[in-house]
Amino acid sequence: MHFNHPIRRLAKYHITTNCPREHCLLCDLGFIVRMLEDAKGINCQASNFCKTVGVLAAGTVFSTCMVSRNDSCSTATNATELIDYGIKKTDVDYGHIIQTFHRFLIDHLSSEGNAFPHNPLLLTNQSNSRPHLPAAAPISQMLGIDAKSIIICMNCKAVREKENMSHVVDMIYPRKVK
């Protein structure tokens, strides 16, 4: 995230505001960005950021399909499965874990940076398509993809469409052959 300049600027701006959250990922990202800029190549510790990720992961409920030998889908009670504690597991799909963690980060940054209805308009061409509507969250303006989900019932073939905003596109990698 440090090398994405718009997100870096948003995080640095966020630390200048009066944020009421005790565990704010965007605040901690802003502090890390400032430390890295001030350090000029010297190592920095991200212990507060890591602690915040752990606290937020413990409070996040998500649904995941872990690709393993049995292709089981489950709903986890929290996202701490995303954190590697050095425990050796068999049949771990690291690509899926990385993508889920990236989605976790972007979704939290989007919700924490949202000051609706006072969000700044970052892209001027958005004002032409929506002249009187308040701006979306800054992360949604930078990374948001307007999408349409099409759900087809396998039994009755009924079709349902739903418009949504996505920040991340998941890539599906083929499984390794053993």
pLDDT in tens, 61-82: 554 433 333 444 444 445 656 5
E strands present in the chain: 62-65, 73-76, 145-152, 159-166
Are the C-beta atoms of residues 57 and 104 closer than 8 Å to each other? yes
| Nearest residue to 26 via CA among 16, 36, 40, 39 | 16
- Residue 95 resides in a domain: yes
Q: Is the pLDDT of residue 43 over 70?
A: yes
Is 79 part of any domain? Answer: yes
Mean pLDDT of the chain: 78
pLDDT for position 140: 87
Q: 166 burial class (0-12, 13-18, 19+ CB within 10 angstroms)? A: middle
Q: Does the global pTM surpass 0.85?
A: no
Q: Please check whether residue 17 lies inside any domain of the structure.
A: yes
Asked if residue 174 is part of any domain, the answer here is no
Q: Is residue 175 part of a domain?
A: no
Mean pLDDT score, 101-117: 86
Pick 117 or 13 by higher pLDDT: 13
Distance CA 90, CA 61 (A): 23
The per-residue pLDDT for 82 is 59
In one letter, which amino acid is 104?
F
Place of tokens 């995303």: 82
177 occurs within a structural domain: no
So what's the pLDDT on residue 101? Answer: 85
Degrees to nearest 5, angle at CA 111 with 95 and 11: 85
- Between 94-112 and 47-58, two packed helices, what is the crossing angle to 10 degrees? 90
Residue-range definition of the domain harbouring residue 100: 5-166
Asked if residue 86 is part of any domain, the answer here is yes
Determine, yes or no, domain membership for 171.
no
Count of structural domains, the chain: 1
